[in-house]
Amino acid sequence: MRHLGRAEALRRQLARKPPPPAADALLTTALALAWQEEGAPYEPFTLVDQAVEAAKRGKETRAQQGFINACLRRFLREREALVAATEADPVARWNHPQWWIARLQHDHPQDWEQVLEVNNTPAPMTLRVNTHRISREPLQQLLAAQHIDSEPVGLHGLILDRPHPVDAIPGFADGLWSVQDAGAQLAAQLLLEGLPLDAPLRILDACAAPGGKTAHLCELARHARVLALDVDPVRCERIHQNLQRLDLQAEVRAADAGEPAAWWDGEPFDAILLDAPCTASGVVRRHPDVRWLRRASDVAQLAAQQKRLLTALWPLLKPGGTLVYCTCSVFRAEGAQQIEAFLAHNSSALLRPGPGHFLPRDRAHPEGVRDNEPRDHDGFYYAVVQKSARHAPATRPEA
């Protein structure tokens, strides 16, 4: 998936007319694995041999084994020239759809190339320390004793030197830590900044599954009454499981956050976290298929859903309360433009200092994208919006 654009461009060089879908998938997969000698998982001739062997064994590809063999052997003979012939194709060069590249160029004219480069690198495994169970330094020592090296990131994070199965990392079953990207760990911190954490705050985590941000809120504000919503009952069960492992308490409810009449009891919230559904354009390092599955039209459709949620939840916030709007997207239509429009139509909303568009970064770019801390993390948008203290409180809508 990380090299699909280049692989499809190479296949077009080798065969102008695509073979049947199953053979095309097999050939393209082999090209994606073989096009770069450096970093290839296998020797080129091993890849060719095994791709042909796979074609022989597949009912839908058996008739194409000779074609696949010929294409791949030609590729090995003419690799340099074929790769050079695809270099002018931006989809091949950047391994992203053309519409995605164009949107990044428009939204981030100074940083788009670096964002695309980072997107094509694997993301790190980052832990969030449960500070009510253990502090960061002892956990780091516990990991080191099992030959798992790590380095601190943010207030509560540890970036591992390489990914490991969670069951192989000490402390998972005991709730000492959770897996959470360093960028995602900012959500709870931003929402709770300046609030009295020893008070019984009433907090809403809208669109909460799988529960990482819910758990972080509970860890930081142990006396808070947290309501976690998600529209999917199956995903709500994931929230329950995460909270149980960490020995945390929150009310979890399956409901559409955009329809408060069905679930809100009329008591306003001190703070609301809206982690809105989005294109996930900031997390393609972890989900490289996302870029190929999304369509340009998805951006406007999801932006409309984000607007619906913002409009529905804003009246539920107490005067003087804080709402953090976030998406794991780097597109301005799902971030800055969404909040600019919201502020223009809500005189009671005051924008507070916040990260804004928090673009992805990897360790190969230490100077990196502006306004980011020098560590590996995904791309997000964060806006911290406070409601004017003079605004009249909301009343419960009629069902």
Residues known to be catalytic = 328
Q: What number of CA atoms fall less than 13 Å from residue 202's CA on the CB side?
A: 11
- Site of tokens 């990482």: 212
Quote the strand ranges of 138-240, DSSP E: 150-153, 157-160, 177-179, 202-206, 225-230
Asked if 242 contacts 211 with a C-beta cutoff of 8 angstroms, the reply is yes
Neighbour count for residue 254 (Cβ, 10 Å):
16
Give the DSSP letter string of 89-107.
-HHHHHSS-HHHHHHHHHH
Give the DSSP letter string of 232-297.
-HHHHHHHHHHHHHHT---EEEE--TT-GGGT--SPPEEEEEEE-----TT-TTT-TTHHHH--HH
Task: Determine phi and psi for 133, rounding to 5 degrees.
Answer: -110, -35
Chain centroid to Cα 191, Å, comes to 19
Quick check: helix, strand or coil at residue 195?
coil
Q: Can the peptide bond before residue 277 be classed as cis, meaning omega within 30 degrees of 0?
A: no
Asked if 328 contacts 378 with a C-beta cutoff of 8 angstroms, the reply is yes
CA angle (186, 187, 188) in 5-degree steps? 100
Name the packing angle between helices 21-34 and 65-77 (round to 10°): 20
